[in-house]
Structure 1
Amino acid sequence: MNTKEKQDLIELLVKVVTRTFGPEVTPYEKERIWVGCQTYVSTCPQVFFESCRHGIPQYHIDKALELSQKMIDNPKIAGNIIEF
């Protein structure tokens, strides 16, 4: 999987998680969702990308959603932004 494909998968994960929060997502929440998804993927990128060859499994969405909610609820939590 090349860098562009990896970035596209992370963007898709962010879109799915953001949609779960509903239509009234604030810019702050969008930022924290982005950081939450990036942090989730950075915990084990090889497993994430290998398991997403045919779409993102629900368990990845659930875990990213859970982490994003924690990021929104506690602004002191810093995230890990992964670089390719």
Structure 2
Amino acid sequence: RFLGMDFLRASVTAKILNVATNAAAISFFVGNVELLWKLAAVMAVCNLAGALLGSRMALKHGVVFVRKMFLAVVTVLIARLAYDTFLR
């Protein structure tokens, strides 16, 4: 538990904060940078599909599943960072 939240509740809270920061970034970039709208639309659809799939799996399988997936993703990211830093 962290800040009185279990892992699943903390993940949901993080996603809500991600939406807020993404909205702020979009509002900044729309006025200041030429965007590739077709690519942005594809990315948004894929992001939505992943969020729906992930949330359904989290609700179906529970906190243990979310924790295991989180640890798997973090492990892959650490391995990738180590490879890029030391072996490239």
> Given the two structures, how large is their TM-score scaled by the length of structure 1?
0.31
Question: Structure 1 or 2: larger helix share?
Answer: 2
The structure whose Rg is larger is 2
